[in-house]
Amino acid sequence: MSIFQFSTTSSLVSGPGSIEELADICRRLGITHPLVVCDRGVVEAGLLSSLETVLAQHALPYQLFSDVIADPPETVIQAGLQTAVDAEVDGVIGFGGGSSLDTAKLVALLARSGESLPTIYGVDQSRGPRLPLIQIPTTAGTGSEVTPVAIVTTGDSTKAGVVSPQLLPDAAILDGALTTSLPPFVTACTGVDAMVHAVEAYTSVIKKNPYSDMLAEKALLLMSRNIHRVFTEGADLEARQAMLLGACLAGQAFANAPVGAVHALAYPLGGHYHIPHGLSNSLVLPHVLRFNIEQAAPLYARLLDIVAPEATASSSTEKAEQFACYFEGLIDDLSLPSTLSAADVPEKDLAMLASEAMLQTRLLVNNPRQVLETDALSIYQQAY
């Protein structure tokens, strides 16, 4: 067995109503005046009331920054940072989807380290300390509450990542009750995103390890058993909690065994056409799976036994093909667009997308099969 390293968020609380633990966690981390980072949708949906109630009951004043938007640009990060500095907060609470959690990570880091955002893009470029950080996801998708990654929009269609152990939060709270009001489309997109995290972690070629494998398998088991339930019965708290835990386990898996070509080809779609990240993944997923079968068939075969134990194929190659078919069926069941044309991606842009996908080198190196630009173009054409 080769040497491997596994890191994750220091403390995790999971279960319906677990937001009640927030005040105790704040005390343990020495937080007396936190910055709460979220988006306006969370506020308008009334989700923030549960957090506000807990903080008020324990006499914990807070500063609110609710200007996060999807795929947050640098200006949002800087605005959140300025709010944190002006209010002299001593901790940060991320509350919401992946964009809010990523923003919270960067604000917590920059407010304490004094570094500037452009200097920390890339892998292990940050060296400074950060403020104490608690993450509370309200979607079952990104797993950002347990990853050392934050994604920032840096231009009209470009994104950059900050990857650093400094971004791993101190604590995460998984309260499925916060996700029961998610609409079906968001439920579907975030659920598929989390499942892709598990699949790509399981086939990651550089840092694949026994811990990430175990987490990916359990994540896929939880999510494949519950994603249809949360899509059709959004108030099913048991299923919502299972999805939230599954997304977290998948986040822990890919934080240590990084994702590959699905995400590499999805990022340009999100950057240019503002397609939700989970949908961008689902549009290319079956085609990347089939491209990878040449190298990853035995691994996909094992995952098929988890998501579709009733499958009858015998050989690894046949099972891997059925694995791709499983996701095609799931995407259809969740009423998601299944082609790039249905997502209003211009066919004339496919070559440009392929060229930009090749810039995602930190992701492509993890893919089980080498992806050339001609391969990327072919995958986009198949997805069209």
DSSP one-letter string for 167-201: GS-SEEEE-GGGGTT--HHHHHHHHHHHHHHHHHH
What pLDDT, on the 0 to 100 scale, is given for residue 157?
79
Report the alpha-carbon distance of residue 259 to residue 247 in Å, rounded. 14
Per-residue pLDDT of the chain (384 residues; tens, 9 = 90+): 689 999 999 999 999 999 999 999 999 999 999 999 999 999 999 999 999 999 999 999 999 999 999 999 999 999 999 999 999 999 999 999 999 999 999 999 999 999 999 999 999 999 889 999 999 999 999 999 999 999 999 988 788 899 999 999 999 999 999 999 999 999 999 999 999 999 999 999 999 999 999 999 999 999 999 999 999 999 999 999 999 999 999 999 999 999 999 999 999 999 899 999 999 999 999 999 999 999 999 999 999 999 999 998 889 999 999 999 999 999 999 999 999 999 999 999 999 999 999 999 999 999 999 999 999 999 999 999
What pLDDT, on the 0 to 100 scale, is given for residue 277?
93
- The domains located in the chain, with CATH, are 11-179 (3.40.50.1970), 184-383 (1.20.1090.10)
For 374, counting Cβ atoms within 10 Å of its Cβ (0-12 exposed, 13-18 middle, 19+ buried), the class is exposed
What pLDDT, on the 0 to 100 scale, is given for residue 156?
81
Element containing residue 279 per DSSP (H, E): helix 277-307
What pLDDT, on the 0 to 100 scale, is given for residue 250?
98
What pLDDT, on the 0 to 100 scale, is given for residue 1?
67
Antiparallel, parallel or unpaired: β 149-153 and 159-163: antiparallel
Q: Cα Rg for the chain, rounded, in angstroms?
A: 20
Which amino acid belongs to residue 224? S
